[in-house]
Structure 1
């Protein structure tokens, strides 16, 4: 587990360098990160599922917060798994990964914000509920790029269901306005949402 965590830290540092080269590109937006083959290999080695997002903001934004929300059957059961804040610089990356622990008891999330000046990260265990290891899973993220409007944005989801009829991905409408589409979470037994908020 320590080796995987070290690989993840190395990958985060590499991603920070890539993000720093994007200063001035589409201010006040966050987009799905474009990874090199090497970065993708590092994340695949260190985690079961991974997401990387690049952000570019102007000087008005002072802070970024990221956290995970957990839902069961559409009901919020934890609104701040791994909640953390850090200073918002002009550009950087947000990283979200999932690994299972060796005893198959917890989901292990790693979340982090990487910029030219700093790396802030958290290792977040969450006890598996509702027998998720025997369920089907699906995951998704924002469509390519979204504007930051000083409010919460859902960046990614990892969802589990034992529905024998299969699962559907969360819609683009969900990512563009989650508050009006929370009923979509009812189709899953367990959902983890990665959220971010940039504050001025």
Structure 2
């Protein structure tokens, strides 16, 4: 699986980098990638949930850190479930996927950063799960584009709830001001937040 995932990331990063051309309006931004049907099919085959983002930055930025935070009933229980820091150039892609194994009660997260033909990736399991098999899940990401000049950005979430009354997604306001909307996480049994921060 790890080998297949690395091949998958390389396949995504090369075309994405070719398609990324920085303009004044998208400088220092992170946005949801527009994937082809083929790319969607590959991701669906290789993972249960997936996200792909493109970034465009100026020369002042040198590194990106990407990590997962885990919350239970709104409380932070792991601030670095997975953490990856790598050098970046002007444009590139971030890929985040989750593979669920309900039989083993195990989630495996995969994060990859591709920039100028280089790829850095990490695979991390979360074996400390509640009974996720009996829970409903919802996932989402930044609506369109996020500015990178304000420090860390919440770019995606995967959330689980055992509430019999249903489950709803995080609001758009959460992505715009996560610190001011952390109370939204209390409605879920488990939440994984993918965060990114670019540094100069």
What's the TM-score bracket when you normalise by the shorter of the two chains?
Answer: over 0.9
Change (3 A) 1:74 1:164: same
Q: Which runs of 4+ in 1 moved over 6 A?
A: none
* 2:52 is equivalent to residue 35 of structure 1: no
> By how many angstroms is 1:11 displaced?
2.3
* 2:193 is equivalent to residue 193 of structure 1: yes
For structure 1, the 5+ residue unaligned runs are none
The normalised TM-score by structure 1 is 0.94
Contact 1:150 1:199 in 2 (8 A): no
For structure 2, the 5+ residue unaligned runs are none
Contact 2:105 2:132 in 1 (8 A): no
Count of matched residue positions in the alignment of Structure 1 and Structure 2: 197
Larger deviation: 96-105 or 159-168? 96-105
Once the two structures are superposed, residues 5-41 of structure 1 have per-residue CA deviations (whole angstroms, 9 ceiling, x without a partner) of 3332222112212222212141100000111112111
* 2:59 is equivalent to residue 59 of structure 1: yes
Alpha-carbon distance in 2 for matches of 1:108, 1:187: 23
Q: Hey, what does 1:24 align to over in structure 2?
A: 22
* 2:12 is equivalent to residue 15 of structure 1: yes
The normalised TM-score by structure 2 is 0.94
Q: How does 1:1-200 map to 2 (within 5 A)?
A: 2=1, 5-21=2-18, 22-25=20-23, 26-101=26-101, 103-200=103-200
Alpha-carbon distance in 2 for matches of 1:45, 1:86: 27
Once the two structures are superposed, residues 41-100 of structure 1 have per-residue CA deviations (whole angstroms, 9 ceiling, x without a partner) of 111111000000000000000110000000000000000011110002111111110002
Once the two structures are superposed, residues 100-131 of structure 1 have per-residue CA deviations (whole angstroms, 9 ceiling, x without a partner) of 24742310000110112311100010014221
> By how many angstroms is 1:181 displaced?
0.5
Contact 2:64 2:86 in 1 (8 A): yes
Contact 1:30 1:145 in 2 (8 A): yes
Contact 2:73 2:188 in 1 (8 A): yes
Query: How large is the RMSD of aligned CA atoms in angstroms?
Result: 1.3
Q: Secondary structure at the match of 2:27?
A: coil
Larger deviation: 71-80 or 38-47? 38-47
Contact 1:32 1:53 in 2 (8 A): yes
Once the two structures are superposed, residues 137-163 of structure 1 have per-residue CA deviations (whole angstroms, 9 ceiling, x without a partner) of 000000111111140000100000011
